[in-house]
Amino acid sequence: MKDLLPPDPDGFLELHNRKYEVRAWRMSSDRLLLRGAVRDDKPSGLYLEHDAEPLTIHHMIVDLEVTFPLMTIERAEVVFESHPHERCTGIIHAYQSLVGLSIARGFTNKVKELFGGPRGCTHVGALLNAMAPVAIQCAWSMRVAAMRETGDSSEIRPRTPEEFDNALKFNINTCHVWEEDGETVNFVRNGGDLGPPLPVQKRLNELGLGEEAWKKMRG
């Protein structure tokens, strides 16, 4: 798998390296675990001239247990592995306010309302905003996992208008492609099949399977 960034430019002094990582797991048919981390590193030799190791300034980890399909946070845990000031950890308890919130529509605004500015940690707030879209991306994956478990392709191919609306509700108005009255949404609501996402289509072609394998999976 390719690195996220292209090769470093030549002749420049590196000043900072921030990394986000978010992973998700299916705990059960109605629950998923999101785990995210943010880490700020200063390159070796920048702050401490003779130190050969990078210096980690911030390293925060967040675990969220989320119900499916409601996408409600039922457990939250925040850990500070590395932080610049002793008082940094004094805000950790505030993040229990995440419990009971929906991680879907409006979550970013709620995070800003509850934890913005002096009410929280900037790094945890940025991490939470990076984690929320992953939960929404997992909706499809949860349905695929259920189909694998039950063999019922209706898990990923809604049949009725109500099922279509439920399947689409987390996508509507999230970007220009999923504009509520846009071409894509109207196409899907009228029974159209978008086909596999482009990376899936590319991989099917590499495996010599073609779109028939996709259609078979979807039933």
Percent of the chain topping pLDDT 70: 88
142 with 199, same domain? no
208 Rama sector, left if φ>0, alpha if ψ -120 to 50, beta otherwise: left
51 with 89, same domain? yes
For residue range 72-125, list pLDDT tens digits in order: 999 999 999 999 999 999 999 999 999 999 998 889 999 999 999 999 999 999
Residues 6+ apart with CB under 8 A from 216: none
Reported as a pLDDT band with limits 50, 70 and 90, residue 167 is low
20 with 89, same domain? yes
**Total structural domains in the chain?**
2
As a residue count, the chain comes to 219
Residue 163 has a pLDDT of 63
77 with 94, same domain? yes
DSSP string, 194-209: --S-HHHHHHHHHTT-
For residue range 16-47, list pLDDT tens digits in order: 999 999 999 999 999 999 999 999 999 999 98
Where among 118, 133, 150 does a domain terminate? 150
Kindly tell me if the per-residue pLDDT of 152 is higher than 70.
no
17 with 118, same domain? yes
139 with 42, same domain? yes
195 with 174, same domain? yes
Residues 6+ apart with CB under 8 A from 174: 136
Q: Which domain does 189 fall in, by range?
A: 157-219
Q: Which of 80, 91, 9 is nearest to 40 (CA)?
A: 80
Residue 141 has a pLDDT of 87
Q: Which of 2, 79, 64, 5 is nearest to 33 (CA)?
A: 64
For residue range 129-146, list pLDDT tens digits in order: 999 999 988 988 888 888
What's the CA angle centered on 20, arms 203 and 104, to 5 degrees? 80
Where among 131, 150, 169 does a domain terminate? 150
CA separation for the pair 106, 104 (Å, rounded): 6
183 with 118, same domain? no
